[in-house]
Amino acid sequence: MNREYDIFEKLPDASVRCLIRVHGTRHVPAVLEDRGKQTKNECFAMNIRTREIVARVNNKPGVNSK
For 2-48, how does the pLDDT look when each residue is reduced to its tens digit (9 = 90+)? Answer: 789 999 999 999 999 999 999 988 999 999 999 999 999 999 999 98
**DSSP state letters, 12-55:** TTS-EEEEEEEESGGGHHHHHHHHHHT-SSEEEEEETTT--EEE
pTM, whole model, 2 decimals?
A: 0.84
From the list 21, 17, 28, 23, the residue with the least C-alpha distance to 54 is 28
Bridge partner residues of 44 (DSSP): 8, 56
The answer to whether the beta carbons of residues 10 and 41 sit under 8 Å apart is yes
The answer to whether the beta carbons of residues 53 and 46 sit under 8 Å apart is yes
